[in-house]
Chain A
Amino acid sequence: MGEVILTMKGIDKSFPGVHALDHVDLEVRKGEVHALMGENGAGKSTLMKVLTGIYSKDSGTITYEGREVEFHNPREAQEAGIVIVHQELNMMNHLTVAQNIFIGREFMKGKLIDDAKMNAEANKLFQQLGIDINPAEKMGNLTVGKQQMCEIAKAISHEAKVIIFDEPSAALTEAEIEELFKIIRDLRAKQLGIVYISHRMDEIKVITDRVTVMRDGGYVGTLITEQCTKDDIINMMVGRVIYEDPKTASTVPPGAPVVLKVEHLNAGKMVKDVSFELHKGEILGFSGLMGAGRTETARALFGADPKESGDIYINGTKVDIKSPQDAVKHGIGYLSEDRKRYGIVVGKTVAENSTMAHLKDFLSGVFIDKKKENDVTQKYVDRLKTKTPSVDQLVVNLSGGNQQKVVLAKWLVRNCDILIFDEPTRGIDVGAKSEIYHLMNELAAEGKSIIMISSEMTEILRMSDRIVVMCEGRKTAEIDIAEATQENIMHAATLR
């Protein structure tokens, strides 16, 4: 490790209602790989966005190469030599590799673009990095791993001095990760400062020199990787006080029948051989870090995405779910994490949304029986305590929590016995949150079975009877609530 190249000190940033960064410090040295760790929402990405000028900071100082700096946009940061290699690659698939690398600063020969020179320059970069990519190949034809190499080459071509890798390994194969690490070590040897954001504990131990841990927007501490254990890091990541009382024991009566059994479910890259059982009246929590494959599992189960293999049994009978329509027919309801996109139709009324999944019950002849629709909707508005002036109110005018209740009403009208809540309280304020929790408990007590996907540890510990932990598409643990702790869940969530 060389001298300090970048220091962020006391960085503070608030968004309306959220204190996103609370006096965070970060120091990066030349020739260092510095891990930035923390749970989902700990503030890692926000910190990097402040660094590269996507967000402006409220207070604090950034010192880069001995001078205090403030970048106003990613371009300024890039010109100064700070570059992010994004997790989601920003590539133009129809252009060639070289064209992508030099977009916006093409080599020209008079009025025409000099593609030959761009290819040659790209080749030089690749040689420097020791990677084998044809610069004239169309970007879309490369694997994700190779595309990432191109992003790195692009960063190098900007004469970067600090490169930030935002979860670079998330989409890579083992072999590709090896190649990535080789490049990162090379860059380190060339005295670049490297910030490495990742959830993968094993990688952190292998590739990084120091670790800075963030939690809930705050700075927890910085450790030298060699001198700490995986558990040290996990403890720093989760060591928060849980304000709400976690559930201490399962409330599912012993011997409750299995209503849903999933066996060896495979779907795409994100769902690998997932098996689990759901009992009557149970709330089964699905925990894991971002990209663990929980939503993908739910979507495959619900028939929203195609599955490659796997058997699904409902009440002991094998069922074939090929589409959401099939799933609904078998009594499964899905409350999406992205309500506005998948859950509700914002331009429609509460009543229209509530009856959408079961409209055939509300027909008299070919016409919709408006009175029946309103009556039934009103029943659920009362039952769920949905705050709406009337059932004719447009859903767009309701708060997040009440929108969620409308989605729930939709599935209850359909009489679904299995409900999948995907991030049920995302974007919902605290008061409405506990109402949703209350409702979920009530439904479970009535014998409905619930799968609850949540990224909030407190929510998982408070609501679940049993917890399935996933990591990278695999189920890595199944923990009874009586034995569940933040530590053992986080441990399983980072298990590769």
Chain B
Amino acid sequence: MQTTSKSGNAFTNNPIVKAIGLQRIVVVLAVILEAVLFSILSPAFRQYATVVSILDYSYYISFMAIGVTFCLISGGNDLSVGTGMICYALAGGFLVQQMHMPVWVGLIVTIAMGLIFGVINGVMVAIMNLPPFIATLCTMLITRGFGSIITGGMAVSWPSRSSPDGWFRSMFKIINNGKIIPVGFLIVLLAILIMSIVLNKTKVGRYIIAIGSNKEAARLSGVNVIKYQMMAYIISGFFAGLAGIAYAATFSSSVAPGTGAGLELDAIGGAIIGGTSMTGGSGSIIGTLLGVFVMSLLKTGLPYVGLQANWQQIITGIVLIVAIYIDVLKNKHTA
């Protein structure tokens, strides 16, 4: 009897490769490959503004993806983060723009909305036992409609950078004499660090992994399955709220109702590319961050090589299929 039954070649058995994880190495290589490819194909890609643009996209996707990672690990999914994010940013921005409330109220309401819908998703999945895919698909529709209703179908403009209330934009991007400092990345890193600890070092994370790994066994071990399954969706809702703030803060355009559908796939794709399993039980937050950069680079880079929105969707779809197929193969291997 051997303790580890996995075999592999010299490369996969290398201790350094094992410690970092083969998948993460592959993802990092994919990010580098993407960057190199776009740089070769388009000289315009090679500039600082592109880096800023890539980061701009990465913020909201990262936040959504962190939350979705918890749902995926618990054995579920959260399709509502994309439209949710927009809905929450609309609600918060509406209060600021139309009701003339202070910006901080708008920010808190944005996150609170995320939490509320997180609880709703959690109740549906953990208590009512609806399939997560369907339950959150419904929330996706509901948040899309709800966002429009709140603003009466109007787009919402959060205060601009030049206005006195525009301070919140500096949380993600400081512009000083035309020089752009993308500080948002630090916030994302901090979130990644904290949520990595939550996932790997706290009961919440441990039980979410346990539930995704074998729900019945977790229940029989005395784990409060309902509570911790709900927790995954509440975390996801919270981060969708953060994503809404990041979205409102990084892009100067107004937030438009009815948008956001499809953005959840960037987040889910990032998580899966980063090594989180579609079937639950395993995943990593750092992997998710790396996966997000694959998606964010695609979003930024494709227009440079002349592939516009429609092509982006096709390529995103293909990337997702490949990532999920790798996950399927991985599961087959361990089964």
The interface of chain A, by Cβ under 8 A from chain B, is 74-75, 90-95, 99, 103-106, 108, 111-113, 115, 132-134, 137, 140-143, 145-146, 173, 175-176
Contacts and interface: CB of A to CB of B under 8 A. Distances in A.
B195 to A, nearest CB: 14
A376 B2 CA distance: 58
A146 B2 CA distance: 9
B206 A113 contact: yes
Nearest to A179: B1
Given A90-B217, A95-B210, A112-B202, A104 B223 contact: yes
Contacts of A108: 203
Interface stretch (B3-11, B58-66, B101-109, B148-156): B3-11
B71 to A, nearest CB: 15
A368 B25 CA distance: 54
21 contacts: A74-B220, A75-B222, A90-B214, A91-B217, A92-B214, A92-B217, A92-B281, A93-B214, A99-B210, A103-B206, A103-B210, A103-B221, A103-B223, A104-B222, A106-B203, A112-B201, A113-B201, A113-B202, A115-B201, A142-B5, A145-B1
B214 A91 contact: yes
B4 A112 contact: no
Given A95-B213, A103-B218, A141 B281 contact: no
A363 B146 CA distance: 48
B201 A146 contact: no
Contacts of B220: 74, 90
B206 A99 contact: yes
B165 interface: no
A141 B217 contact: no
A140 B330 CA distance: 13
Contacts of A137: 3-4
Contacts of A112: 197, 201-202
Nearest to A115: B201
Interface residues of B, number: 26
In order of increasing CB-CB distance, the 7 nearest A-B pairs are A92-B213, A94-B281, A104-B222, A90-B217, A94-B213, A103-B221, A104-B221
Contacts of A146: 1, 3
Contacts of A133: 3
Contacts of A95: 206, 209-210, 213
Nearest to B334: A140
A133 B4 CA distance: 10
B212 interface: yes
B300 interface: no
B282 interface: yes
A235 to B, nearest CB: 37
Q: Which of B1, B216, B218, B223 has the most CB atoms of chain A within a 10 A radius of its CB?
A: B1
Interface string B1-27: 111111000000000000000000000
B245 to A, nearest CB: 26
A103 B222 CA distance: 8
A94 B282 contact: yes
Given A94-B212, A112-B197, A173-B1, 5 more contacts: A90-B217, A92-B209, A106-B203, A141-B3, A145-B1
Contact of B202 (A104, A111, A141): A111
A93 B212 CA distance: 10
Nearest to B222: A104
B206 A134 contact: no
Contacts of B282: 94
Contacts of A176: 1
- Which of A93, A115, A146 has most B Cβ within 10 Å? A93
A92 B280 CA distance: 11
Contacts of B206: 95, 99, 103, 106, 113
Nearest to A86: B220
B210 A92 contact: yes
A90 to B, nearest CB: 4
Interface centre among A74, A90, A94, A105, by most chain B C-beta atoms within 10 angstroms, is: A94
B1 A92 contact: no
A145 B1 CA distance: 8
Nearest to A154: B221
Contact of A134 (B1, B3, B203, B213): B3
Nearest to A137: B3
A74 B216 CA distance: 14
Contact of B3 (A75, A91, A92, A142): A142
A94 B214 CA distance: 9
Contacts of A175: 1
Interface string B210-250: 10111011101111000000000000000000000000000
Interface in B94-153: none
The CB with the most chain B CB atoms within 10 A, among A105, A137, A142, is that of: A142
